[in-house]
């Protein structure tokens, strides 16, 4: 299915469900002036398109990858680059997550279960679980148990501990649905896997592993037990790069890759460029992924891609986070592999799965046991990016064995950080482990002067659900940025 057709289904779906959502927090009643029922195939295409653009490739990844210093703002401060991120910053993302993504996913789940089309309900549950995980990872306490009650416009907030248990339960329920008989099953309307339900099952298991490992330092949880739960899930997770969840985009107006729209296309804004920290990390490691993850300085300016760009000397440079920038033309921008108009957007990858396995194996069995998995994770990343086997072998040899390292966990997470370029998971791993080691941005807006460890509750909640926000005890605005989420409470 072409994205031009997808745009129609997104619009149709949005009109149906957004008007209903305005009546309640996640009201799934339909608009009486609209068709009474949108079939599963149109709902699925719309859901996947909105989730990819609004969640995976939008605000959560852009802001947090400034905070973990893969990206940097190349304009004038202040900006979210130095943590000028108050209640207005995440407002659109919170609202789109609840009133569009989750509303549509719940509607699809209900219709599919009513019709016995469990393949569709399984996919809808994966998207719900993933969305709720992202919301609670960024905010800690969020509406969950009361979120779908159309009569309740001020839903109570649930603890992150409860939400995490529900996320994993949703993924386990999705696995049951995805392996059950389904009279109607996705085909081309599945814009991620083309109806391959085995790959959806592998994705769900990989997500379970991700979220089990997230809890290694959570109160009341054992790191070794969480590691073993992650390894158990990964036994049915991604097997190779061919399983990667890569969402396709096209070089047509309004159908382009989100990073192209947000960082390359001059019609939007080209000031999200690479961080000095990240460029220097890759240079220090002599990492062959540098020219793939970064464009040379001058390839992009404030108007977008520079026609006929052909420098005499190729240079890679980033801006120092929080400092005043000289505009896009002075820094390296996001590499074409990730930011061409028709570049796919990776939701989750085999390389990430292998890094999860490497860390879990290290926790459960030690550094020597994790070595082969660690190397396979790096190779998976390099293979996906087209790095030669010879270059990958040389790079891995230069790193040395984990067993000889002063800090094997740091080695694993730093390599995962590179492989997961532009992923929200970089921020989650940094909070969970403290790696990579980072210095705060210039002139930070956080009261502590440190990198933020959570999002502030958005304006819409402060205006419409103030009592529930107040019950969390989290202050409004910048003060909230210093308060750890539950699973991060021991760091």
Q: Are residues 197 and 220 in the same domain?
A: yes
Q: Is residue 380 part of a domain?
A: yes
Q: Is residue 432 part of a domain?
A: no
Backbone angles phi and psi of 72, in degrees to 5: -150, 150
Q: Are residues 55 and 158 in the same domain?
A: yes
Minimal CA–CA distance to 132: which of 207, 199, 200, 232?
Answer: 207
Q: Is residue 131 part of a domain?
A: yes
Q: Is residue 474 part of a domain?
A: no
Q: Are residues 326 and 387 in the same domain?
A: no
Partnered with residue 245 across adjacent β-strands are 348
User: What CATH number corresponds to the domain at position 189?
Assistant: 1.25.40.390
Q: Is residue 455 part of a domain?
A: no
pLDDT of residue 35: 46
Q: Which of 289, 316, 343 is the last residue of a domain?
A: 343
Q: Are residues 359 and 338 in the same domain?
A: no
Q: Which of 374, 394, 419 is the last residue of a domain?
A: 419
Q: Are residues 216 and 122 in the same domain?
A: yes
Residues 247 and 348: beta-carbon distance below 8 Å: no
Rounded to whole angstroms, the Cα distance separating 38 from 163 reads 29
Q: Is residue 446 part of a domain?
A: no
Residue 184 lies in domain: 3-71+86-236
pLDDT of residue 158: 98
Three-class SS state of 368: helix
In this prediction, the residues of the chain whose per-residue pLDDT falls under 70 are 1-36, 490-491
Q: Is residue 394 part of a domain?
A: yes
pTM summary value: 0.94
Q: Are residues 310 and 274 in the same domain?
A: yes
Rounded to whole angstroms, the Cα distance separating 296 from 279 reads 11
pLDDT of residue 269: 85
Q: Are residues 319 and 363 in the same domain?
A: no
Type and span of the H or E element at 350:
helix 350-365
Q: What is the domain count for the chain?
A: 3
Backbone angles phi and psi of 400, in degrees to 5: 80, 165
**If you search the block for the tokens 């490497």, which residue do you land on?**
358
Q: Is residue 22 part of a domain?
A: yes
Q: In sequence order, what are the residues at sequence separation of 6 or more whose Cβ sits closer than 8 angstroms to the Cβ of residue 391?
A: 288, 382
Three-class SS state of 446: coil
Q: Are residues 182 and 277 in the same domain?
A: no
Task: Express each pLDDT in 93-121 by its tens digit.
Answer: 999 999 999 999 999 999 999 999 999 99
Q: Are residues 232 and 198 in the same domain?
A: yes
Angle between the 40-50 and 103-115 helix axes, to the nearest 10 degrees? Answer: 150
Backbone angles phi and psi of 195, in degrees to 5: 90, 5
Rounded to whole angstroms, the Cα distance separating 376 from 286 reads 19
């Amino acid at each position: 299915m072409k994205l031009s057709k997808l745009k129609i289904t997104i619009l149709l779906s949005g009109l149906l469900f957004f008007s209903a959502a305005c009546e309640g927090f996640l009201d799934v009643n339909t608009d009486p002036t609209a068709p009474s029922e949108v079939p599963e195939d149109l709902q699925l295409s719309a859901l996947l398109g909105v989730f990819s653009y609004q969640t995976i490739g939008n605000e959560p990844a852009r802001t947090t990858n400034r905070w973990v210093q893969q990206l940097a703002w190349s304009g004038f401060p202040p900006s979210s680059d130095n943590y000028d991120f108050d209640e207005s910053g995440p407002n659109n993302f919170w609202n789109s997550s609840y009133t569009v993504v989750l509303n549509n996913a719940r509607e699809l789940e209900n219709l599919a279960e009513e019709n016995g089309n469990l393949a569709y309900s399984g996919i809808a549950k994966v998207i719900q679980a993933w969305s709720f995980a992202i919301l609670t990872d960024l905010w800690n306490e969020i509406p969950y148990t009361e979120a779908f009650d159309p009569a309740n416009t001020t839903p109570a907030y649930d603890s992150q501990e409860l939400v995490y248990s529900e996320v994993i339960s949703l993924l386990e329920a999705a696995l049951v649905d995805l392996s059950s008989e389904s009279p109607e099953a996705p085909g081309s309307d599945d814009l991620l896997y083309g109806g391959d339900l085995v790959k959806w099952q592998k994705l769900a298991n990989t997500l379970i592993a991700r979220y089990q490992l997230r809890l290694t330092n959570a109160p009341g949880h054992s790191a070794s037990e969480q590691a073993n739960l992650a390894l158990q899930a990964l036994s049915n997770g991604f097997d190779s790069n061919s399983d990667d969840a890569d969402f396709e985009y096209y070089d047509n107006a309004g159908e382009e890759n989100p990073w192209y729209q947000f960082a390359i296309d001059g019609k939007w804004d080209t000031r999200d460029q690479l961080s000095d920290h990240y460029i220097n990390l890759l240079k220090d490691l002599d990492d062959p992924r540098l020219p793939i993850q970064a464009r040379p300085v001058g390839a992009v300016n404030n108007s977008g891609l520079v026609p006929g760009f052909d420098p005499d000397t190729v240079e890679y440079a980033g801006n120092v986070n929080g400092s005043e920038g000289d505009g896009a033309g002075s820094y390296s921008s996001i590499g074409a592999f990730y930011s061409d108009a028709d570049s796919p957007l990776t939701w989750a990858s085999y390389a990430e799965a292998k890094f999860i396995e490497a860390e879990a194996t290290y926790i459960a069995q030690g550094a020597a046991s994790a070595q082969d998995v660690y190397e396979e994770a790096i190779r998976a990343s390099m293979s996906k990016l087209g790095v030669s086997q010879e270059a990958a072998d040389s790079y891995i040899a230069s790193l040395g064995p984990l067993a000889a390292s002063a800090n094997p966990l740091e080695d694993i997470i730093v390599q995962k950080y590179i492989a997961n370029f532009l992923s929200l998971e970089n921020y989650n791993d940094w909070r969970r482990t403290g790696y990579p080691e980072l210095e705060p941005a210039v002139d930070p807006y956080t009261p502590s002067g440190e990198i933020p460890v959570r999002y502030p509750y958005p304006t819409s909640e402060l205006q419409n659900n103030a009592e529930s926000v107040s019950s969390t005890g989290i202050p409004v605005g910048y003060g909230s940025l210093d308060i750890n989420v539950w699973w991060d409470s021991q760091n």
